[in-house]
Structure 1
Amino acid sequence: MRTRQRSRLAVALVATGVLALSACTQVSPDDGDSDESMEGGEMVTGAGVTSDPCPDAVNADNGCIYLGVLSDLTEGPFAALAVPITDGQRAFWAQVNADGGIGGYDIDIDTYTRDTKYQAAEHSAQYQQIAGNIAGIAQSLGTVNTESVLPDMIERSLVTVPTSWWSGYAFEDYDDGIVMETGYSYCTEALVGLDWFAEANGSPTTVQAVGYPGDYGGDSAEGVQRWADLNGVTALEAIGTGPNQVVGNQDAVVAGVLAGSPDVVVLSVGPAETAEIVGKLAASGFQGRFLGSLPTWNPALLDSPAAPALTALYNHMSPYENWDGTSASIEAMKASLNGELPSNGGYIIGWAIGYPLKAALEAAADAGDLTPQGIAAVVDGLTVDFEGMLQPHTYGGDPQANANQAVNIGAPNAEVELGIETIEQFYTGPSFDQTDYSSACAASG
């Protein structure tokens, strides 16, 4: 299936002219050494792996594995989250290097970190600059952005960790098995989050989804609809919106929610939109409650005029432990900060998403093949232990059987660090296992 998928995608690339990478790649840091093939049982390496040490190497006798990062680091709508995500990744890989590296190699994510501004065209352009010089991609922010270069990623066998939580990543027909998602999908989040709400607060009569169109809001809205259908509840028509940079304000959302007056609104927007929607609805007398998807929260919201409304009406959902978690992973992450506090929970995400690619690199090194193809070959069936930060996950196999569906529920609390207090840890409910998870819940675009 992998060969058929690649052939089909290769034809599509030629037909559409999406990427012209052959003229755009840079020279690798150790060009004469980066495609070496050793015999006699020693390591086979390829693009992005050199025998020379990394810049500012922790282990001077180690070679270097270069990984790419494509993220929103300056002016896009998720920069406030993406910068600490990238900082968390940098700390994670620094710890790997401090522990000796992997298979005789340190890991470098800085050389090929690129700012995409959360724009698909910029994501593609930056990817083209680094694709021939890396062994994998440690972070690719945004589903549509990742899709813009996915065919070439597949052609190159570049294992990729996404910073988005679309349900399509669970299916090999979509990504040929090279995308290593972490946590649950937005669709699963809505299903399980509403199970928690019904158990904790009594079953709602009406529910409504509000979100960005496409993989984020669309996936979550489908989860809301599925939950309503399974539980005999009315799902009001989902309300689409966009970042305030695009739509100006959330007044249309506020009017739409007030018109239907649902018991629960599931939000799949950014933090600024979350504050505006919850604050304006509370000021208008809205009596319902809000469940916010993973990207909806920022502790700075507790310094906004919407803080009282958020504290009273909002609960946050996350596949990862919150800052008040007690796992070995949380403890190691906090130790990396030397007593400092990150700006938001993006640092947790950045630390967590390091585990899958670390596990793949370790497995590939054990197999003696650190080419991109060798790294991709170990993903199917690989079980990753996140040291308690989220539930273990096995890649490949039956997506429904292997799906992560454990939700951490948080409540805003200005007295706790990063502003979210965990009130339910790794909750699972009955609805996900009753739904058909044999394909993506919603389209990505």
Structure 2
Amino acid sequence: MDFLAESDGPGVPMAARERLCLLALAVGLGLAGPAAGSEPAAGEQGVSAICLEESGWWVPGARAAQRSDSRRVLGAVVGRDLVLLGEEHDDADHHRWQLQVLAGLHALRPKLIIGFEMFPRRVQPVLDRWVAGELSVAELLEQTEWDEVWAHPAELYLPLFEFARMNRIPMLALNVDRQLIRKVAASGWAAVSTDQREGVGNPAPAPAAYREFLSEVHRQHASLRGGSADSPGRDPAFDRFVESQLVWDRAMAEILARSKAAGGRGPLVVGIVGNGHLRFGHGVAHQLRALGFGSTATLLPLPVASAECTGLPAQLADAVFAIPAAREPSAPPRLGIALESHRGQVLISSVGAGSLAESSGLQPGDRIVAVAGRPAADVSTVQGAVRRQPPGTVLPVQIERGEVRREVLVRFPVD
């Protein structure tokens, strides 16, 4: 794609924030594959020599990233069939950037459709009623089961939902229920009966580079659970994990492709999807190509900070926006647990090795009954209580383990 990028010379020394550890890891693994999904020509892999200057658009290249601007970038992608906007789910600036891009695309091509990874397919009628102005925010979140399905703070996403409602832009539920993804990860896609597949077709096989990227993600998941993972070549659990990610990618790609097929050359379809499903043309973009949709652009937000320079991986995306560093408060407290909702109960599904939760005595399978003396109504209630806990204080957590109810005291360290 020609973004008519302009070069700013050698660039200003900037750096990717630590939150881009997976990106840096992907570069180290040689995953600088082209956004279009074809194999790169000789010399096209690697990292651009230029460093990113914050608050602007950059186009990755084989030898150097080039500075661009909104007019060039949005003008180039607005004629595509599909535009994929990435995010780190818990980064507020990423969602502000998405809103900015949506507004720019809407100004150039008012007929839009916006798909969201955050919603499973079954809640599509709820999204339709929201866009029609028939639901309040509280009703939207309740009827889409936001706290159980997604769990990330709704306030991060509400400006996007309000933008769609205000402009009567159709919203699409791209995802499937997490139970399906878990079932594939546990037993494999072939073990899932047709009537349980939620209409998802067979995914296209994963490119080797995507498998390599997912192998590191799988190892990190295993480490979080206190276990270890064999090398991808001899670990059946890894193969099932890859299958689960492919089903996830395929489900989102099918809804995006279906909406575009129904709309012909009408509305521009925009997908709001996590970065891990989009980098280097893998994930959703790969499944879209398998479905016959090659006219897709991927735009990613890239946080930077004023530290030592790291380069921009060639062909990471069609373009990236370098988000300026912000003075932020200390990271909220973390227990180091993964939570899930099951039949109205909040369960601890995993406990990180060396975490506060482990040192306090919390265990996988514990049912959280109350936090700080208040009933644990749902996952977000527990998460909110943890985030609000001041450093150097004690948080009482009431749990049930088997038939026994007990109180665990979590002592948060001083900053």
Per the TM superposition, whether the score is higher than 0.5 is no
When you count helix as a share of all residues, which structure comes out higher?
1
Task: Kindly indicate whether structure 1 or structure 2 has the higher relative contact order, using CA contacts under 8 Å at least 6 residues apart.
Answer: 2
